[in-house]
Amino acid sequence: MAGRLVSETLTKLSQMGDVTLHEPAGDSPQAERIRRTRKQEFNFSDCIASLQTPRGPKPVLKTMMTTACERNCHYCVFRAGRAKTKRVTFSPDEMAGAFDTLQSAGKVDGLFLSSGIIKGSVTTQDKIIDTADIIRNKQRYRGYIHLKIMPGIEYDQLYRSMQLADRISVNLEAPTSERLHKLAPKKVFVEELVQMLQWAQQIRADNRHQKLASSVTQFVVGAVGDTDLELLSMSDKLYSQAKLARVYYSAFSPAPGTPFEGLPPTEAIREFRLYQSSFLLRDYRWDVEELPFLQSGNLRTDVDPKQAWADEHLLHQPIEIMQAEREQLLRIPGVGPVGADAIMRARRRGRLSELIHLKQIGIRAPRKVANYVLLDGKRPARQLKLF
Ligand code: SF4
């Protein structure tokens, strides 16, 4: 009997297909994107994604409590009334049981749990919390759990979700209230979404002794005229004020049977440039005003934003490698945090006066670096044949 129930539950899970197709869940969203766009057909294994999580690479069960939804986000395949969507709903016991079966069999080691909204956000979040509670406290699972936060839930529900999960996501979808209204008319930007991220940071600040989930968000890029300046300005605020671990950018892709089915898709390269810029804000501490935006408010797609900035600022005013502060070194295309630290260590031991010295300390692209630096007061000679 129990075996039959498990089998029915897993069959149900497989009917959902790749339900979180449009939502990256790991720390390598671009790799995830490439994998998912290569797939043509779905089967049960599509619910299991190999993700780079904060706990390392894991096979993660990526699924939803229900594929039914009472909201009508214009880009979403689960929106209310879309005829093509198969609606499948799990109870918390069923979902926790499915996870336990797969985890015990060694098929998954991690859960990414989202949901459509039925009977309001509070009721839906309760089901997500109940599922995670069973997995953590009855099944005693200590591995990776990522929970989606429904828009406009109660403070205590957010707190409980953060106690149960390693990571929570509150997807803003758009960088401003006006843009969100065009994407998702029933979502309320500040009260339902931004406030969740602010509360999450408050909860972490008030409970420093507790292990609580980190926060991430996602934007749908390019469907409603949103600019890179808008997206990155909001990302910058989220990194500095709400201490987000990560911002995801998802290039818009029109889904048949939705109001946006006739809109053009957003180019993948735009998503890639947004990730590069986002890392400059989060990891390199750039100010958003320093990013090389065009008049349109977008970034060039034909060049890395760090290189575009350096072409404008460093070609005629190169950085002296022997004297620059770490922050200046990080401005040089081809020098990341590891490279900047290597340069600082190496120059304490002696002079860096040739490109080959940079190669020897692990700078992978010294030819790229050469355009923007002085080595011991001189433009580097390009002795490429030595490499
Ligand atoms: S609330 Fe979520 S599941 Fe529902 S239509 Fe909007 S994006 Fe889709």
For residue 301, what are the contacts with CB-CB under 8 A and spacing of at least 6? 267, 269, 270, 273
Query: Sorting pLDDT into bands at 50, 70 and 90, what band is 27?
Result: low
Rounded to the nearest whole angstrom, what is the distance from the C-alpha of residue 79 to the centroid of ligand 1?
Answer: 6
Q: For residue 374, what are the β-bridge partners?
A: 320
Calculate mean pLDDT across residues 10-29. Answer: 67
Give the pLDDT of residue 35.
53
Instruction: Examine the pLDDT at 266 and tell me if it is beyond 70.
Output: yes
Rounded to the nearest whole angstrom, what is the distance from the C-alpha of residue 257 to the centroid of ligand 1?
Answer: 14
Calculate mean pLDDT across residues 160-178. Answer: 97
Give the pLDDT of residue 50.
82
Which tops the pLDDT comparison, 15 or 158?
158
> Tokens standing for 319?
């950085």
Instruction: Examine the pLDDT at 212 and tell me if it is beyond 60.
Output: yes
Instruction: Examine the pLDDT at 18 and tell me if it is beyond 80.
Output: no
Rounded to the nearest whole angstrom, what is the distance from the C-alpha of residue 155 to the centroid of ligand 1?
Answer: 21
CA torsion sign for 142, 20, 178, 270 is positive
Using a 10 angstrom Cβ sphere, with 0-12 exposed, 13-18 middle and 19 or more buried, the burial of residue 211 is exposed
Q: Whose CA is nearest to atom 1 of ligand 1?
A: 71
> Tokens standing for 297?
């408010």
Q: Which residue has the tokens 């799990």?
A: 90
Give the pLDDT of residue 4.
66
Which of 62, 10, 74 minimizes the C-alpha distance to 35? 62
Three-state secondary structure string covering the chain: CHHHHHHHHHHHHHHCCCCCCCCCCCCCHHHHHHHHHHCCCCCHHHHEEEEEECCEEEEEEEEECECCCCCCCCCCCCCCCCCCCCCCECCHHHHHHHHHHHHHCCCCCCEEEECCCCCHHHHHHHHHHHHHHHHHHHCCCCCCEEEECCCCCCHHHHHHHHHHCCEEECCCECCCHHHHHHHCCCCCHHHHHHHHHHHHHHHHHHCCCCCCCEEEEEEEECCCCCCHHHHHHHHHHHHHHCCCCEEEEEECCCCCCCCCCCCCCCCHHHHHHHHHHHHHHHCCCCCHHHCCECCCCCECCCCCHHHHHHHHHCCCCCEECCCCCHHHHCCCCCCCHHHHHHHHHHHHHCCCCCHHHHHHCCCCCHHHHHCCEEECCECCCCCHHHC
Calculate mean pLDDT across residues 132-142. Answer: 97
> What is the rounded distance in angstroms from the CA atom of residue 80 to the CA atom of residue 25?
24
Q: Which residue has the tokens 């072409």?
A: 311
* pLDDT tens-place string over residues 329-347: 999 999 999 999 999 999 9
Rounded to the nearest whole angstrom, what is the distance from the C-alpha of residue 42 to the centroid of ligand 1?
Answer: 21
**CB of 262 within 8 A of CB of 223?**
no
Ligand 1 atom closest to 70 (CA): 4
Calculate mean pLDDT across residues 212-216. Answer: 97
Give the pLDDT of residue 261.
95
In the chain, % of residues over pLDDT 90: 73
Give the pLDDT of residue 22.
60
> What is the rounded distance in angstroms from the CA atom of residue 179 to the CA atom of residue 226?
7
Using a 10 angstrom Cβ sphere, with 0-12 exposed, 13-18 middle and 19 or more buried, the burial of residue 375 is buried
Give the pLDDT of residue 83.
87
Give the pLDDT of residue 30.
58
Mean pLDDT score of the chain: 90
Least confident span in 15-24, 98-107, 143-152: 15-24
Residue 342: how many other CB atoms lie within 10 Å: 18
Least confident span in 15-19, 79-83, 183-187, 364-368: 15-19
Calculate mean pLDDT across residues 368-387. Answer: 77
**CB of 235 within 8 A of CB of 58?**
no
Query: Sorting pLDDT into bands at 50, 70 and 90, what band is 386?
Result: very low
Calculate mean pLDDT across residues 266-271. Answer: 94
> What is the rounded distance in angstroms from the CA atom of residue 373 to the CA atom of residue 380?
8
Residues 256-295, buried b or exposed e (16+ Cβ, 10 A)? Answer: eebebeebeebeeebbbbbeebbebbbeeebebeebbbee
**Residue 312 Cα to chain centre, angstroms:** 29
Query: Sorting pLDDT into bands at 50, 70 and 90, what band is 11?
Result: confident
Report the residue among 67, 76, 187, 260 best suited for mutation to probe ligand 1: largest number of ligand atoms under 8 A from its CB: 76
Q: Whose CA is nearest to atom 3 of ligand 1?
A: 116
Q: What is the CA radius of gyration of the chain?
A: 23
**Pocket around ligand 1 at a 6 A CB cut-off:** 69, 71, 73, 76, 78-79, 116-117, 184
pTM over cut 0.85? yes
Give the pLDDT of residue 385.
47
Calculate mean pLDDT across residues 357-365. Answer: 89
Query: Sorting pLDDT into bands at 50, 70 and 90, what band is 148?
Result: very high
> What is the rounded distance in angstroms from the CA atom of residue 318 to the CA atom of residue 98?
58
Rounded to the nearest whole angstrom, what is the distance from the C-alpha of residue 36 to the centroid of ligand 1?
Answer: 20
For residue 258, what are the contacts with CB-CB under 8 A and spacing of at least 6? 74, 75, 76, 77, 79, 82
Calculate mean pLDDT across residues 237-266. Answer: 94
